[in-house]
Structure 1
């Protein structure tokens, strides 16, 4: 596949409007009515057969009360009253249609429209969601993801359940797996970012459980009333069908049914629990509800663990930063003392090596390039200007010579009486990536170039990756800038004015704001842990109050 064709294929996948796809998965039925007038503004074509009307035109424009009795409408109203904007929620199990068949009823509201989704009830027993959550709580942290895969498989009955983690470049890797023997293992394999394009990842954040009961299903079209001018936004409809390309992708993989459960950490899509089955497999609304709670519980554990690890790591860095600042403050010549204080400086940032170039002198510690490599790094950063931080995780961006021990580079300009540069380095990471199919061939394109299809092979393909380090994150950059403030204060600290400067220390303000952000994240975690428990609500309120007070303190520190 040439580069132009590949670029066009990526653009096609990334711009497909899957949220207004205009179809649902059978045998479910969708009704959409106006909240005020109660008039039905959209309905799936199979609504006509469920309610035994002559055609869809006898459904559109009719009052919802004509098809749903007061008991059902009351359940929907109660569900909407207690729900925040978001995906459809299970409202109840009721008799629906001319024959009074038992259905699960789910609903959500979007602007002035109420979406009602009807699914025939199966004969299966409802899962015990409390036992699934308890199994996760009792699992050692190192086996949490494997336990999650096993619990999802036990609840859903799917053949293959994988925990799929997104990486920094939006590729994903299978990091845990549960199998029953009907499908092959994909454990340890990596998938290209194009397998889950940006708009699909956005929907996974908004709708945390998605099921495809039959990958070979023929979508049921959704018809709209003429007064509904815009295409119906189906982002939160659990019955929404999926892209034909994705259905073809599943069939190429030998998968007849699929389901995904989103794992969200710190407000971002951390990964998915991806479930595959070798034959069509419906999942009831109650089972999806249980799996949603299980996914949220796992997300909370992952989020709390990540927060705890970040706090412990950054508290250790802060202690090193404080030691460094105290040492420089006591020095008669802080600039000259920088060279001897670099071990503490390096321990205060997530890097393997540090170089400080000030007043024509270069001081280095840790894993850094040779003098020629340092000169090459300085030449590169000077071409980037001094307006902000420059960084790259590849050595060939800044040096014609490979540097295995100092590959990734983050450069911070120093000012306020210091002048010069602080360079941070990371070692090269060489690894063998096991891809599920060739990553440079993620699509099939027909000879005319007007149709994109998914790849047909998922056979393992290995790639040797070198010349790159672990990429720098936004938080890495913030910690580097914090260290820069320490260096700049050392250069500007000239005795008499030091106390006045420290009274409005920007580093102190940043520390306060970070503590407030951590408290806010912790309050959100505890707020979602077990709604309705009075003790957790009181703790949530206390954390919110502390966050407000810290925010007010930060604002006061910045006032002139």
Structure 2
């Protein structure tokens, strides 16, 4: 169900309860369906995105049963790539294929952000038409419906690739902070972006029920969390690599600028991923890797000076689109370029080749034969070829972090190099021999550059850093400090530090400032800062700080810098742990009868805790149990400790403890033992793992659940009732067995009468006698008392004459009628006398005989005769069968002599019978 402009859209789909339960616990059931797959994903080592995707597609394939499952990733330029695949062995592989961004347009990507799952059961099925209310001005939008019919071109695309059914699920991850502020799209969900898709295809129609789809969606949510971690780790690793390379390059530049970063190792090609690099400085060239020729590079320099003279550099993934006139000639060597200007006529270039060189086919190339009406290919292979035609003019895009590294290098170089235009006539070598004044100026320029870079690093550091002058006023406040406290930089600068420190930390801050003025630096001191604005409700920020003295050129202390570590979260956890620890001690040591028996073991199986309730139930003192092995010394097969019944019980206890300590789910065990007085105790043992602050398993915490005296009494009563029922069943079995022998004798006597010549009346009586015997025999064979109590009886279907069954019922009531002086009469039409039915005549006799006996039992003597009335009704089913509806009722006729007429009263109940009627 989802909302659109004019109301709610409800999708209804068939449910097969045999597939997956769809009760209120459906969501929990879905989580259980994906539990194993989620566990496998979470157990994978970090740093291997390929393995993570391989496991995902394999798990989705096992869950859904599709012939092909692919992980499809969107690149920065929005084109797609199949990075993982699980397929049926006879299907063509698509692994490694790239597809242009137009294959999945922006509108479809927007829908995938809103509607995470899209299923097509049969692309060849005829769509169902939509009947729309005439009062609606616009056509209904079904874009949010999971089961909507596919567009015609998409259905054709699926058919061309041999796919009939599909299931597509979106994978979203957290957006970069830079992107969050630049999207400007209020409709797109905040903080998330579409990373890719999991695409399932099947060669025949396939329907996946909602609980299973929900399980897959939940699995992809977990995958998204794991993927976020991988993306963050990769970004951090790349940033660390760039920072290390920048540090080395800066060291080289101080010795030999700028040629050293080309002639030594590492070089500029280690700073960012590229195929080649070049330095154009003082009309000379230094080249590394795959680059254009010297003449082509000079042509690029001339083009940059003519068309981009006002900029400090240029970056592009396509020189063709950037407008360079010689790009076509360079296509086979380079397509992308990043350049920076390091002097008025000096440049550094990084080059990248076109993307097509890095793409590999996932299988044999072949021509697609299907085309639409315009002759365009509609097949995954043809889409890949279209992509090749596009990217042969384009390289891999330059990432933001790479451009940041390039610009940082540019700032360092521009600050350290001389302007060769001012000394053009005197320059004969790459680096001019500087004079003393020049050395001082260069030293100051280098110091300024390093200072600027240091300020930038402090401002962007992930640790809170702040500084104060000798008067204690804040003169440094980085972004992290502002983020934690909610106090902006402009508001913090100039304020006394003690004003934003919590009162119990003021003395510590004053001590740090006094020591710093004396040249003493403090380490690992804890202070608390107040919070402001949106952070105020979160309470104070707890920091572990190291102080550094700030000195001027004359080595005089002019302030203090604090480099801090945020301990707020850790302190909150420790405080919570301390409270929990206190609660735990209060529970375990509490002698109250409400506290259950509790004991605890370490990872070696030794007993660490044995509470008061355990001492009462076992008779073993705490000091006798502590530091003893739970299995073998506390619970044992011998006469010391608490003895268990047999070795199997001890083995089950050992398995339970080892299972819990190994990190698996909490376990339960029906556990019995003898206390020190020899009394047998039955209990339910529950064990849970114990972990330390680092999450390492250190043992098990166990509870014994013992029934209360009231419950034990109830259980004893239940056992007695079960025993009485067993005894009654034995007695009933004995009676049945004893009745069978006389019944067999009666049946044998009847068999002797069969050859005799009998009158019609005698034959009728004998037939009734036989029916009574058969009825008794059937009753004796009813051994399932539980089914009888629940009114479930075994039924047969035979052909019988209704009148014979009714006569047998009347005969069974004659004896009781004579005893109570009540005559029994019958009242049914002639058609009942000749009616043949299909049904269970013996069960009919049993029910009607009980009904008649009950009527006789509650009728007073001499009240009048009892009339058994039968009212038949027929219903035709087809041309060869009829259903007979029979109503049986009993009536008592009271004879009123003074009026010379009779008056009848219906009994309180009637019996209805539905049988097949023989035509």
Tell me which interval the TM-score lies in, with the shorter structure as reference length: 0.5 to 0.7
- Label 1:552 to 1:157 Cα distance change in 2 as closer, same or farther (>3 A): farther
- Counterpart for residue 379 of structure 1: 302
Q: Is 1:318 matched with 2:243?
A: yes
Cα pair 1:412 1:422 within 8 Å, conserved: yes
Q: 1:133 to 1:500 in 2, by over 3 A?
A: same
Contact 2:274–2:351 (CA under 8 A) maintained in structure 1: yes
Mapping of residues 148-297 of structure 1, within 5 Å: 148-167=56-75, 170-180=78-88, 183-222=91-130, 229-267=137-175, 268-297=193-222
Query: In the TM superposition, what whole-angstrom CA distance separates every residue of 1:352-392 from its partner, at most 9, and x where no partner exists?
Result: 43323344444444544442232233234345414352323
* Corresponding position: 1:122 with 2:16: yes
C-alpha distance 372-435 of structure 1, shift in aligned 2 (>3 A):
same
The answer for the alignment partner of 2:415 in structure 1 is 489
Whether the 8 Å CA contact 2:96–2:359 is kept in 1: the answer is: no
- Cα distance in structure 2, aligned partners of 1:275 and 1:393: 34
Distance 1:343 1:175 in 2: 32
Question: Any conservation in 2 of the 1:437–1:458 contact (CA below 8 Å)?
Answer: no
Tell me how far 1:230 sits from its aligned partner.
4.7
User: Partners of 1:176 and 1:555 in 2: how far apart?
Assistant: 50
Change (3 A) 1:550 1:259: farther
- Tell me by how many angstroms 1:399 deviates: 5.1
Match of 1:300 in 2: 225
Q: Distance in 2 between matches of 1:122 and 1:204?
A: 27
The answer to whether the Cα contact below 8 Å between 2:2 and 2:144 also exists between their aligned partners in 1 is yes
1:132 and 2:37 aligned: yes
1:545 deviation in Å? 7.8
Q: Aligned-pair distance for 1:487?
A: 1.8
Partner of 1:426: 352
SS of corresponding position for 1:119: coil
Match of 2:404 among 457, 478, 485: 478
Query: Retained in 1: the 8 A contact 2:172–2:195?
Result: yes
For 1:552 and 1:358, locate their aligned partners in 2 and report how far apart those are by CA, in whole Å: 47
- Alpha-carbon spacing, 1:288–1:364, altered in 2? closer, same or farther (3 Å): same
**1:547/1:432 Cα in 2 relative to 1: closer, same or farther (>3 Å)?**
same
Taking structure 1 as the reference length, the TM-score comes to 0.61
Distance 1:231 1:368, change over 3 A: same
Partner of 2:280: 357
Match of 1:3 in 2: none
Superposed displacement of residue 116, structure 1: 3.6
1:297, CA displacement in angstroms?
2.0
Which of 540, 543, 548 matches 2:483?
A: 548
Matched, 1:346 2:269: yes
Q: Distance in 2 between matches of 1:550 and 1:494?
A: 40
For the 8 Å contact 1:353–1:425, the answer to whether it is kept is: yes
Are the aligned partners of 2:72 and 2:81 in contact in 1 as well (CA < 8 Å)?
yes
**Alignment gaps of 5+ in structure 1:** 1-106, 517-543
Choose the corresponding residue for 1:143, options 47, 51, 63: 51
Distance in 2 (alpha carbons) for counterparts of 1:110 and 1:264: 23
- Point out the structure with max Rg over C-alpha: 2
**Aligned length, in residue pairs:** 417
1:134 deviation in Å? 1.1
Name the stretch that deviates more: 546-555 or 354-363: 546-555
Counterparts in 2 of 1:146 and 1:343: CA distance versus 1, 3 Å:
closer
CA shift in 2, pair 1:547/1:391, >3 Å? farther
Whole-angstrom CA distance in 2 between matches of 1:389 and 1:556: 38
- Pick closer, same or farther for the CA change 1:444–1:184 going to 2, 3 Å: closer
Q: Helix, strand or coil for the counterpart of 2:194? A: strand
Give the drift of 1:324. 2.6
Residue by residue over 1:138-197, the C-alpha shift from the partner in whole angstroms, topping out at 9 and shown as x without a partner, is: 345342222111110111121221223344554434332223457554344444544323
1:410 and 2:304 correspond: no
Distance 1:444 1:117, change over 3 A: same
Does the 8 A contact of 1:343 with 1:365 survive in 2? Answer: no
Cα distance change on mapping 1:424 and 1:149 into 2, 3 Å: same
Deviation of the 1:270 alpha carbon: 3.2
In 1, Cα distance between equivalents of 2:450 and 2:138: 57
Report if aligned partners of 1:513, 1:551 keep a CA contact under 8 Å in 2: no
**Alignment check: 8 A CA contact 1:109 1:115 kept:** yes
1:84-109 CA deviation, whole Å, 9 max, x = no partner? xxxxxxxxxxxxxxxxxxxxxxx344
Higher RCO (CA 8 Å, separation ≥ 6 residues): 1
Partners of 1:397 and 1:558 lie apart in 2 by 52
TM-score scaled by length of structure 2? 0.39
1:83 alignment partner in structure 2: none
CA distance in 2, matches of 1:284, 1:503: 63
Whether the 8 Å contact between 2:249 and 2:261 is mirrored in structure 1 is: no
Task: Identify if the C-alpha distance between structure 1 residues 198 and 444 changes in structure 2 by more than 3 Å, giving closer, same or farther.
Answer: farther
Q: Distance in 1 between matches of 2:394 and 2:458?
A: 28
Q: Where do 5+ consecutive residues of structure 2 fail to align?
A: 21-28, 176-192, 419-440, 464-478, 495-919
Contact 1:248 1:454 in 2 (8 A): no
- Aligned-residue Cα RMSD (Å) equals 4.5
Q: Is the 8 A contact 2:336 2:353 kept in 1?
A: no
Query: What aligned pairs does 1:52-67 form with structure 2 within 5 A after superposition?
Result: none
- Cα deviation, residue 277, structure 1: 1.5
CA distance in structure 1 between the partners assigned to 2:249 and 2:379 by the alignment: 57
* Counterpart position of 2:583: none
